Structure 1
Amino acid sequence: MAPNRREKGNTVSDSDPHFSGGGVAADGFDRFGTLPDCLLVSILSLLPIEDAVRTSVLSTRWRRLWTLAPLRLLDDSALRSEKFPNKKLLAFRAFHDEEQWRTQEGWRVRAIDGVLSAHAGPIRSCRLSRVYFHIPLLDGWIQTLSQKGVQDLAILIPMEKRFYLVHPSLIACQSLQSLELCYCRILKPTQPRPNLVNLRVLNLKRSLVTDAAINDLLSCCPALQSLALVHCAGLRRIHLRSPTLCIMMLDDYSWEVEELFVVDAPNLEHLMLGKNTTRRTHVKVLNAPKLELLGFLDMSIKMLQLGSTTCFEKSMVTLSTVVHSLKKLAIRVDFNDDLQADIVFDLLRCFPCLETLDVLIADMDDDDEPDVEYWKQQVSLDCLDHHLKSVTLKGFLGQRTDSGFVNFLIAKARVLKVMTLISVHAWKEGWVETVQQGLCLQNKASIDATVVFMKEKHEINQFQPWSSLF
């Protein structure tokens, strides 16, 4: 018989339908006890894993309920021993020896192992990121997660353990919708073949990946919408062919990439590149009819091809392709370099429907002798006459060349709404007023245009959506 419990002088059994261990209302009636298990399980699925597990001590009814709730955000960094709770962990690591710290991490590993073993599933979300990670157990955990229908999975291996060769069950997990890997290794898959039929988001960070592996993964991910390659090694030639891909990101630190060809991506909308990528990588966009966002394009270009338009070694060879779909462009330019200024003007001509222009100003070479009258000599363009509404210049110095570009846009952009000039010099007293005097604000083509000066603060994210590339 279940043990009796006494509540305000009354004898109550935990087998009583009005007692669930969840607490009794002021009128003595247990509200939680009237709820069906399916609703309690739904509530438990919203709690952090530690709190959900603690409910198992309330009564015999609650003992297994948490194991039926779909687990979300099972983050091993949130699991803490009662001995070292919350923020005391960092202080503990700083002032105790390594063996004791490993003891705490050992507790965490055992907790993860116990949760994965006891929980019946499904497990919707899981993030494994601890420093003293027990790699030998990881293969088994991945198999368990795959069997229990994990949808969102992040495996962030510590640097000293690089690179973890992902278990074959991971790339054959049909339930996966989002996958993030860090310090992992993906070679050309053999058996089983990748079968990520529901994968929509793939983020590979600081991982070893081959061209063949990426090609195989793309061919076996019919629902993939977003691909990010960040600090990855081993890639040389990336040839994108995906009917569903919408977002592609390649950051600056994938040094070895020689080619990035968008061969066939009919739904690609965003192509995000590190600010130096086009200086060393041949970028070719052949079929991306929905491309709306492109950047960064460094004006010191190795080779850029947009359809039949080719920019090679700082000169525009042909200019026959007009990309009407592009709405947002980010460029990196040294305005003291006349060749780079030429490329900026020609690129603006390629994008007649451009609405947003973001400019990262490179360190301008004082040894150059630029044509300070260059922008005064240029005619207007279709994008300036009809579409360009927002311009941001980060790294603005107020020199004659970058101010000349600003004045060109002020005088030509007929529908411009706002121009934001972000500068480290904006902190100096009187600097903004001096620069404003040199701008031709009285000649605005758009009466609604506003010029805003902003102080550059490196710790503040001021350059969306490009800040993730820095």
Structure 2
Amino acid sequence: MKRESTQVLYGAASKRRKRPQLQLSNLPMNILCSVISKLPTRDAIRTSTLSSQWRYVWCDHTDHLTFDGSTFICRSVKFFPPYYATAKKEEFNARVDAILQQHSGEGVQRMQVKYALDNKSADHLDRWVSFAIASKTKELTLFLSDRRIKSFIMYNEGSSLFTRPKDLYSFPCHFFDARNSSYLRCLQLASVYLKPPADFSGIRNLTRLSLVDVDVEDGDLEGFLSHCSKALEFLEIAYCGTLTAIRATRLLNKLKHLRVGVCDLLEKVEMNCCCLTTLEYMGPMVSLAFGETSSLKDVCVKFMDVDAALDYINMGFPSTLSNVEMLYMHCIDRQRVTLPIRPLKFVHLRHLRLELVISECKDRKIDVLDYAHLLEVAPFMERLELHMWIDCPHQPYNRRTDGEVRSNLPSHRHDHLKWVYITGFFGYKDQVELVLQILRSSAVLKRMIISSRVIILHECAGEMIDVYRNRHAVDGRMIAVDLCKEHADIVEVLGAV
């Protein structure tokens, strides 16, 4: 017999009791299944090797299936981290097929395939889409590029190069009909070919649609949207190089969020919608037309070609967007425009963020003081952000050489502006004049921050950004400190010391 372990405590022998070890397999089945359902696909599959009891547990209780390069590790590579050892296409396809054959197909809420596949894998991809439909999946993602593309609004300055399959997989729209597609709520497609057939009945209950690097013609996109118009709330279209127009003639009466970006051939966006609240656009300057936008409050536009921001605000901005409350605009300015006598008023605008890239290697024509016009355009604005990147010969303001600042300009009294943030302040004369004009015009201003730091970068910046940080920023800070001595209670100067 084994001796029970004892220990002496204050002269008396006491038995040491062994605590029973808690085994994961001892958990009630409902709790165990809940734990497995929360695991990543790769880890959930690995539980099948623990024991015969665990072999098929994951098959019935994994509601999120994600297959990507890290899901399967190539067996021939043993000494490298997982992200260096992704499976080959043939092995990837075979393993996904094997897993889906074992899975019961019940309760799959989300299914994602993120791997560089083309039309050569069409048979496999068709089976996976059929599995998603049969399992009543609510979210389906096919991301068939060889690298993950960020959502365009997070992408900075258009570095959108990536390798795409030459022979794109043709997404099987004909698999979906009114009967079997009622459960799908979210569809995300990347690097596929999309051409719905003539008898395509649509995905009636789709609320989110994302098309990234999708090869689709204008008419086919319009037809696809018209058959998904019932419940669509979010639409993203980005890096679709074949599109010249994004058009929705049928009313999208529930569309709230629209993202369009980096479609190089795009010329116009025409949407028939009545509940749109957020618009995000990035790419060349195009025509924006909306049927009814009384609900549109937030607009973010990043123009990647050369034009004038003030000209677009005064003339190009759709008059139907006059109810906008928050406007975020990025523009490259190279030409000065004639300001209108009676500009379009944005009476609902409360927050304006304007990013200006002024790039002129020789004589600069842009007059920064012109942007004081924004105070007249938005009479009820409360927050103003003006972020500048000026690539011009550096000439910080000097009273002896540049003369007195312009002080006899008409001042439009602004009774609502409370907060101003200016960056890229290098101390140019027209920058100094703009600051003084804002201070003189704003009746209730509580805080102005002036920074010589550059927080926006143009793709041509290169090594010049170090020059700005080392020299321009110092000059800008010194001039700003001297300029705002009389307004020290309101103005805070940031930047190089």
TM-score normalised by structure 2 residue count: 0.68
Kindly state the Cα deviation for residue 341 of structure 1 after the two structures are TM-superposed. Answer: 6.3
Q: Is the contact made by 1:293 and 1:327 (CA closer than 8 Å) also made in structure 2?
A: no
Q: Any idea what the Cα deviations from partners look like across 1:5-62, whole Å, max 9, x if unmatched?
A: xxx9xxxxxxxxxxxxxxxxx6446554443322211100111222212222333432
AA aligned to 1:150 is T
Query: Is residue 296 of structure 2 the alignment partner of residue 304 of structure 1?
Result: no
Q: Any idea what the Cα deviations from partners look like across 1:170-218, whole Å, max 9, x if unmatched?
A: 7653333333222222235533321141423x32222223333443444
Give the aligned partner of residue 416 of structure 1.
447
Counting aligned pairs with the same residue, the percent is 17
- When the two chains are superposed, the root-mean-square deviation of aligned CA atoms in Å is 4.0
Give the aligned partner of residue 409 of structure 2.
377
Q: Is the contact made by 2:382 and 2:417 (CA closer than 8 Å) also made in structure 1?
A: yes
Matches within 5 A, 1:230-245: 230-239=238-247, 241-245=251-255
Query: Is residue 193 of structure 2 the alignment partner of residue 150 of structure 1?
Result: no
Query: Is residue 158 of structure 2 the alignment partner of residue 160 of structure 1?
Result: no
Give the aligned partner of residue 187 of structure 2.
179
Q: Is the contact made by 2:421 and 2:449 (CA closer than 8 Å) also made in structure 1?
A: yes
Q: Is the contact made by 1:76 and 1:112 (CA closer than 8 Å) also made in structure 2?
A: no
Kindly state the Cα deviation for residue 111 of structure 1 after the two structures are TM-superposed. Answer: 1.5
Q: Cα 1:214–1:405, aligned 2, differ >3 Å: closer, same or farther?
A: farther
Q: Cα 1:254–1:381, aligned 2, differ >3 Å: closer, same or farther?
A: farther
Query: Is residue 376 of structure 2 the alignment partner of residue 349 of structure 1?
Result: yes
Give the aligned partner of residue 123 of structure 1.
108
Kindly state the Cα deviation for residue 106 of structure 1 after the two structures are TM-superposed. Answer: 2.3
Find the aligned partners of 2:25 and 2:267 in 1 and give their Cα distance: 64
Q: Cα 1:333–1:51, aligned 2, differ >3 Å: closer, same or farther?
A: closer
Find the aligned partners of 1:284 and 1:183 in 2 and give their Cα distance: 28
Report the secondary structure of 2:132's partner residue: helix
Matches within 5 A, 1:11-26: none
Give the aligned partner of residue 287 of structure 2.
282
Report the secondary structure of 1:192's partner residue: coil
Give the aligned partner of residue 36 of structure 1.
28
Query: Is residue 279 of structure 2 the alignment partner of residue 249 of structure 1?
Result: no
Give the aligned partner of residue 124 of structure 2.
137
Q: Is the contact made by 1:226 and 1:245 (CA closer than 8 Å) also made in structure 2?
A: yes
Report the secondary structure of 1:78's partner residue: coil
AA aligned to 2:107 is P
Find the aligned partners of 2:97 and 2:439 in 1 and give their Cα distance: 62
Find the aligned partners of 2:196 and 2:216 in 1 and give their Cα distance: 9
Find the aligned partners of 1:389 and 1:443 in 2 and give their Cα distance: 18
Find the aligned partners of 1:83 and 1:32 in 2 and give their Cα distance: 32
Query: Is residue 51 of structure 2 the alignment partner of residue 59 of structure 1?
Result: yes
Q: Cα 1:345–1:294, aligned 2, differ >3 Å: closer, same or farther?
A: farther
Report the secondary structure of 1:386's partner residue: coil
Find the aligned partners of 2:174 and 2:142 in 1 and give their Cα distance: 14
Q: Is the contact made by 1:71 and 1:122 (CA closer than 8 Å) also made in structure 2?
A: yes
Q: Runs of 5+ in structure 2 lacking a partner?
A: 3-17, 146-163, 323-335, 394-401, 455-464
Kindly state the Cα deviation for residue 138 of structure 1 after the two structures are TM-superposed. Answer: 0.9
Kindly state the Cα deviation for residue 89 of structure 1 after the two structures are TM-superposed. Answer: 5.7
Find the aligned partners of 2:129 and 2:90 in 1 and give their Cα distance: 19
Q: Is the contact made by 2:254 and 2:273 (CA closer than 8 Å) also made in structure 1?
A: no
Q: Is the contact made by 2:372 and 2:438 (CA closer than 8 Å) also made in structure 1?
A: no
Find the aligned partners of 1:286 and 1:348 in 2 and give their Cα distance: 28
Report the secondary structure of 2:54's partner residue: coil
- Greater than 6 Å deviation, 4+ residue runs: none
Report the secondary structure of 1:436's partner residue: helix
Query: Is residue 216 of structure 2 the alignment partner of residue 209 of structure 1?
Result: yes
Q: Is the contact made by 1:264 and 1:288 (CA closer than 8 Å) also made in structure 2?
A: yes
Query: Is residue 479 of structure 2 the alignment partner of residue 438 of structure 1?
Result: yes
Q: Compare 234-243 and 144-153 and name the one that shifted more.
A: 234-243
Q: Cα 1:295–1:404, aligned 2, differ >3 Å: closer, same or farther?
A: farther
AA aligned to 2:128 is W
Among residues 343, 350, 353, which one is paired with 1:319 in the alignment? Answer: 343
Find the aligned partners of 2:23 and 2:403 in 1 and give their Cα distance: 79
Find the aligned partners of 1:239 and 1:420 in 2 and give their Cα distance: 42
Q: Is the contact made by 1:299 and 1:332 (CA closer than 8 Å) also made in structure 2?
A: no
Q: Cα 1:129–1:373, aligned 2, differ >3 Å: closer, same or farther?
A: farther
Kindly state the Cα deviation for residue 128 of structure 1 after the two structures are TM-superposed. Answer: 1.9
Q: Is the contact made by 2:216 and 2:242 (CA closer than 8 Å) also made in structure 1?
A: yes
Q: Compare 283-292 and 421-430 and name the one that shifted more.
A: 421-430
Report the secondary structure of 1:319's partner residue: coil
AA aligned to 2:447 is L
Q: Cα 1:162–1:104, aligned 2, differ >3 Å: closer, same or farther?
A: closer
Report the secondary structure of 1:128's partner residue: strand
Q: Any idea what the Cα deviations from partners look like across 1:99-132, whole Å, max 9, x if unmatched?
A: xx8x743222211111222212322333322235
Kindly state the Cα deviation for residue 228 of structure 1 after the two structures are TM-superposed. Answer: 2.3
Give the aligned partner of residue 160 of structure 2.
none
Report the secondary structure of 2:127's partner residue: helix
Kindly state the Cα deviation for residue 426 of structure 1 after the two structures are TM-superposed. Answer: 7.3
AA aligned to 1:437 is M
Give the aligned partner of residue 391 of structure 1.
421
Report the secondary structure of 1:273's partner residue: strand
Query: Is residue 90 of structure 2 the alignment partner of residue 47 of structure 1?
Result: no
Q: Compare 292-301 and 154-163 and name the one that shifted more.
A: 292-301
Q: Is the contact made by 2:33 and 2:57 (CA closer than 8 Å) also made in structure 1?
A: yes
TM-score normalised by structure 1 residue count: 0.71
Find the aligned partners of 1:332 and 1:431 in 2 and give their Cα distance: 17
Q: Is the contact made by 1:55 and 1:62 (CA closer than 8 Å) also made in structure 2?
A: yes
Among residues 291, 299, 305, which one is paired with 1:293 in the alignment? Answer: 299
Q: Is the contact made by 2:48 and 2:55 (CA closer than 8 Å) also made in structure 1?
A: yes
